[in-house]
Amino acid sequence: MSTSIRGVLFDVDDTLVDLRAAMASMFSELSAQWLRGHSAEARQRAAVAFAGDIHGRYERYLAGELGFGEQRAMRFVDALAEIGVAVPEPAVLEEWNSLYEAGISGRWAAFDDVGVSLDRLRAAGVRIAAVTNNVADYQRRKLSAAGLAERFSAVIGIEEAAAPKPAPEMFHAGARAVGLDPSGCAYVGDNPIADGEGARDAGMVSVLVDRGGGVEAPCGVTKVASCEAAVDFVLGRCSRVE
């Protein structure tokens, strides 16, 4: 392991937990009445539109322009519009949102390589925390549902810094949580801007996980294909690093 890296901070959604798959699955189940009669391709397109947040509703939530439930309902409407389905009545949207919130936690699951990767870091004496663009309690529930919570010494959410990622305050709060300077930490995430550039500009070793391929890493950011490969890099084994 590099002697300069004593802590690793992780993004949660789509780095540790396969949130897109969970969201797409939940959307498809709850939206069956609106998707009925559409082709398999159209149903898939709608699910991808919801999970992928095609109009950036979550960014508006982070900016304080939308509530958490409101941004989700708007994503539902966006997904239906993608295949030409009319907007449901407000009461229907509210019920859909409630059913979604009640069921989504049962679909939160870690990527297959995550548990063993975190255990390797802990065995090597590396301090681990999560830094996430959501409220900490919600993300703790997500990590718990995915069987990961006990591995983290801290979860830093958006309420604990002046601005969300890529603002440096989020990353610096994570470094403080593990008792290190930013220069002593690596950050592992999946978003090239919020995670990759944000961690780099905050003075950390920045590692971008691109599981599907095709994402361009910003200058100064190391791209890998999995959490396992990210840990290889942190521990000084670079055979699987791009």
Q: CA 157 to CA 160: how far, in whole Å?
A: 6
Residue 218, pLDDT above cutoff 90: yes
Q: What percent of the chain has pLDDT over 70?
A: 96
Q: CA 180 to CA 160: how far, in whole Å?
A: 17
Q: CA 95 to CA 44: how far, in whole Å?
A: 23
Residue 58, pLDDT above cutoff 60: yes
Convert the pLDDT of each residue in 82-91 to its tens digit. 999 999 999 9
Which pLDDT value is given to residue 1?
Answer: 45
Pick the residue with more confidence: 214 or 137? 137
Task: Give the model's confidence band at 4: pLDDT under 50 very low, under 70 low, under 90 confident, else very high.
Answer: confident
Quote the crossing angle between the two packed helices 227-234 and 114-123, to the nearest 10°: 20
Residue 241, pLDDT above cutoff 70: no
Mean pLDDT value across residues 31-47: 96
Instruction: Quote the mean pLDDT of the chain.
Output: 95
Mean pLDDT value across residues 31-48: 96
pTM: 0.94
In a 13 Å sphere around the CA of 101, the CA atoms on its Cβ side amount to 13
Terminal alpha carbon distance of the chain: 18
- Residues in Cβ contact with 185 at an 8 Å cutoff, skipping those fewer than 6 apart: 5, 6, 7, 8, 9, 171, 174, 175, 178, 204, 205
